[in-house]
Amino acid sequence: MATTNTSQPKLSKDFLWGFATASFQIEGSTDVGGRGKSIWDDFSRTPGKTMDGRNGDVATDSFNLWREDLDLLVSYGVKSYRFSLSWSRIIPLGGRDDPVSEEGIKFYNDLIDALLERGITPFVTLYHWDLPQALHDRYLGWLNKDEIVADYVHYSRVCFERFGDRVKHWLTMNEPWCISVLGYGRGVFAPGRSSDRMRSSEGDSSTEPWIAGHSVILSHAYAVKAYREEFKAKQGGQIGITLNGDWAMPYDDSPENIAAAQHALDVAIGWFADPIYLGNYPPYMKQMLGDRLPTFTEEELKVVKASSDFYGMNTYTTNLCKAGGEDEFQGRTEYTFTRPDGTQLGPQAHCAWLQDYPEGFRELLNYLYNRYHMPIYVTENGFAVKDEHSMSLEQALKDEPRVQYYRGVTQGLIDAVQKDGVDVRAYFAWSLLDNFEWADGYVTRFGVTYVDYDTQKRYPKDSAKFVSKWFQEHVEGNEVAPTVTEEVPSASASAKPVTGKRASTTQANGASKRQSVNKGAANGKTVPKKTWKSPIARVTTYISTFLGL
C-alpha cells in the first residue's frame, strides 16, 4: 500500500485546491448589512428572467451561514477557498465619491480571518457579475469606459487596503466574455441589454458587447497597475484575471472547420487573453468586426499588456466547431456535440451547453500554456447532473455523473502536469454548494454539496468525497488531512446534513487576530499552532461536521 502511494504522480506541495462560489449566488441578504442593490437584484426579480421565476434574495443564506460553510470546507480538507466580494456590499452606491460600508467591510474581514484561522487560503474575486445598480443607473456601467474604470479602480483599492494584508491571491474579473456577451449581447444576464426587442427594450448587440469588454479589460489592467505600484511590495500578493473558454475541436479535418475551431477560440478566449498576455486583439476579431471593435491607445496598451500574474482558467466542456453561421459571439462558427457519425461527444449535463469530454480539458490546458506561457490557475470547473433538482435527496447525493466528470478532469490535470509539462498551480471545483445559478434560477445544480433550499441544510455528495480524496492523495505533503471517505461516515448512506452545532474552531474578529495569521496560511504554508488546529482536532472537526453534532 505504501509503495503504491509513493509511486503515484504528485502535484507540488504548494498546489492550491478547493471549491469556489460567488457572492450573489450564495449570500442572499440583499438588503441587509448596508448592502446596496446590484444589477442582479431587480433583474432576477423580473418575471421571465430566471427559469423558475426565483431570485437571489435568499440564495443559500451564506451571509448568515458562512461559518457553517467554512466548517464544511474544513470537513473536505481543502487548502483554499475561492469566493467573490460583493461590490455593492462594500460600496453600496459603487462610485469613487460614495461612502464605504463598514458593515460590509466587517463581514468580509470576519470571513477572511476565519478562513485563515482554519488554515484555508482565501482566493478572492473582486468582481463576479454583480455591478452596483447605481452605476448602471448613472452612466450605463461597463458601457462608459472613463467612469467605470475610475470607479472600479477605486473599489479595488478599497479592497486592497482593507483585506490585502491577509489576501495574497486576487482575481480582478470573473469571465469577461459572460459579462459582455450575456449582459450586453444576448441579454440573458443582467443588465439584460440586447437588440432582441422580445428580450429587452434597449441595447445594441452589434456594438455594446465589444464596448463593455473593452471597458472590462481596461478596468482590470488599471486595477492591477494600482496593486503593483501601491500594494504589492508591502503585501506580497499575486493578481490576475480569470477567463471562461471551452476547448474548440474541428468538426472534422477539413481546412475550413480547422479554421473555424481557431476562430471560436479567438473570440471565446483570445478576445481578452490576447490583449492581456500578447498585447492586442486577435487579428481575426479585427477582421470580423472592423471599426466596431474598440482600439487601445498606446498608453492603455502599455498598461494592458502583461497585466496578469497568471492565467485564470474557467472551463466546463468542449465544442465541435463547423464553419458557417452569423453568430459573432462564437466567431461565426456553429457549435455542436454531435460527431459526423451521429454519436455524442459525451454524457449530457442538465444544461444544454455542457457535455462531459475530459480529453478537451487536457487539450485546453496545453493550448493555453503553449500560447500564453503563463502559469495556470483552474479557477472554475464542474458539472450539473441532469434532472438532479427533481431527484430525491438520496438519489442526488449519489451523483455518479459528476464523480465521473471529476475523475476525467483530474486525470487530465495530472497528465498535463506530469506528461506535458504544463505549469498548473491551482484547481477549484465549481461549486462548493448548489446555489442560485443565474438565469437558471435554482433548477440547475452544480454543487458538490446538496442544499435543501427550504431548510438551507447542506448534505455532502459523493463528488465532494471524490474530489477531496483525489487531491489529498495527489498533492505532496497533504498527509495532515484525512480523506472524507475514510474518516467520515458515508453521507449518502446516512443523509446527515451539515448543520447543528458548529465545529470547535472559532471566528476571528479583531485586528490582533489578523496580525497573527496574515503570514503563512495566506501563502499555503503551515500556520502557527496557536491559530491552526492540530491534526487530531481537525479529525474531530470533520466527524462533528458530517454528523451534525
| Per-residue model confidence as pLDDT tens digits over 385-411 | 999 999 999 999 999 999 999 999 999
- Cell 480538507 locates to 77
Predicted pLDDT of residue 509: 28
380 a catalytic residue: yes
Q: How confident is the model at residue 7 (pLDDT cuts 50, 70, 90)?
A: low
Yes or no: say if 141 and 127 are a contact pair by the CB < 8 Å rule: no
Predicted pLDDT of residue 479: 58
Predicted pLDDT of residue 187: 98
Interatomic CA distance for residues 35 and 89, integer angstroms: 4
Range(s) of the domain holding residue 235? 16-473
Is residue 11 domain-resident? no
Longest CA span, the chain = 65
Predicted pLDDT of residue 497: 67
Is residue 485 domain-resident? no
Who's near 442: CB < 8 A, 6+ residues apart? Answer: 52, 54, 389, 434, 435, 436, 453
Is residue 531 domain-resident? no
300, 328, 380, 437: the catalytic one is: 380
Is residue 523 domain-resident? no
Is residue 101 domain-resident? yes
Is residue 3 domain-resident? no
Above 80 in pLDDT, residue 22?
A: yes
Is residue 100 domain-resident? yes
pLDDT tens sequence across 260-300:
999 999 999 999 999 999 999 999 999 999 999 999 999 99
Above 80 in pLDDT, residue 35?
A: yes
Please give the residue that has the higher pLDDT: either 60 or 509: 60
Who's near 310: CB < 8 A, 6+ residues apart? Answer: 238, 240, 374, 375, 376, 377, 425
Please give the residue that has the higher pLDDT: either 310 or 502: 310
CATH of the domain at 294: 3.20.20.80
Residue 319 burial (C-beta neighbours within 10 Å; 0-12, 13-18, 19+)? buried
Above 90 in pLDDT, residue 311?
A: yes
Q: Determine what percent of the chain is predicted with pLDDT higher than 90.
A: 85
When the pLDDT of each residue in the chain is averaged and rounded to a whole number, the result is 89
Above 50 in pLDDT, residue 534?
A: no
Q: How many domains does the chain have?
A: 1
Q: How confident is the model at residue 491 (pLDDT cuts 50, 70, 90)?
A: very low
Yes or no: say if 86 and 129 are a contact pair by the CB < 8 Å rule: no
Q: How confident is the model at residue 495 (pLDDT cuts 50, 70, 90)?
A: low
DSSP 168: -
Above 90 in pLDDT, residue 185?
A: yes
Predicted pLDDT of residue 530: 32
Predicted pLDDT of residue 546: 37
Q: How confident is the model at residue 325 (pLDDT cuts 50, 70, 90)?
A: confident
CA dihedral (51, 57, 63, 68) positive or negative? negative
Predicted pLDDT of residue 83: 99
Predicted pLDDT of residue 9: 86
